[in-house]
Structure 1
């Protein structure tokens, strides 16, 4: 598959590197050619550095791996080309808060869909840091690392699920795009706990122990 990546940071490198290693074609566009070239070199496996416009045109699927503050300009400028494409939104609108993070806006994925109404937006890969996606570990405490996916288009969700499997991850459809705001809020809450030195996984029992007995 041809995947266009907009952005040259750690998420672009981690996800792009995994997909390139799995045999996908990667074109990466960034604000400057130097940033694009450095990220493409880090990805390797034939990934090529391009302009943002070229990466948008290249991708059958496009990963938005840029700051939330830059989304409006990129999406508006390339709205026509992105129409009909699968857009993967891995962004988080984090803002500092006492004891962790809060969201600077409540629903980035929904804003992306409203800005490019013909695009098929899927929220994915936003819960964990890029270093986790780039690392070799895919099973923790005997359980496969899971990626929830939110989107309105079943075909697009299936496409992103396949890309998650290419990274040796377990994709889980988690509802329509309106539910993506819960993923975004969960990320802010959980990442804040991790940054404060707390083990967020300890809040949740395994599935077989997660259900309460109904009250009479």
Structure 2
């Protein structure tokens, strides 16, 4: 699959690298063409260019940019992104009085704001719960099970495409419903990252119900 990546930072590099290893064709686009070239070379991407080049490259586009600039950035490519699956992997997390909070006020999500900015695109929320280092693993697996990747969106075709990308990386797709649920996925990231920063393991808070069976 051809995947365009908007951005040249950590998530662009590690997710892009995972997709290259999975056999996908990746083009890295950035405002800084030298940074895009360096990122593309680092991960063995098929090419690099401007943001516009990445937006137009393939059926899937990863928006790997800071949450606060994402909606406005994709709005600038609304026409070319029409009909494409735009994957938002950002987290609108900022420090608050009682720990990490969502800059959106938890009343909406960045993914929803992106969908409003590019109404003819097919926006999916995915890949925001793991630190970028996780995507450097050849096949993310923990305690003998493949990593589950939550994702949500409103377009069935975009969800199928995202699930295929997740599966190609050796992970398990974890569908979480429509795009209205993206705010909960982002809130989960705020909870989990806050727990990690406090030295806790949030995964221990979610045992499966069958664990209590005797």
TM-score, normalised by the number of residues in structure 2: 0.93
C-alpha displacement of 1:119: 0.9
Describe how 1:144-183 pairs up with structure 2 within 5 A. 144-183=146-185
Contact kept? 2:71, 2:110, Cα under 8 Å: no
Q: In 2, distance between residues paired with 1:198 and 1:112?
A: 32
C-alpha displacement of 1:204: 1.4
Structure 1 pair 24–52 and aligned structure 2 pair: CA distance change class (3 A): same
User: How many residues are aligned here?
Assistant: 210
Q: In 2, distance between residues paired with 1:172 and 1:67?
A: 24
Q: In 2, distance between residues paired with 1:38 and 1:94?
A: 28
Describe how 1:3-152 pairs up with structure 2 within 5 A. 3-44=3-44, 46-98=45-97, 100-105=99-104, 106=106, 107-136=109-138, 138-152=140-154
SS at match of 1:147: strand
TM-score, normalised by the number of residues in structure 1: 0.92
Structure 1 pair 207–158 and aligned structure 2 pair: CA distance change class (3 A): farther
C-alpha displacement of 1:207: 4.6
C-alpha displacement of 1:72: 3.2
Structure 1 gaps, min length 5: 212-216
C-alpha displacement of 1:210: 6.8
Q: In 1, distance between residues paired with 2:128 and 2:159?
A: 15
Structure 2 gaps, min length 5: none
Query: C-alpha root-mean-square deviation of aligned residues, in Å?
Result: 1.6
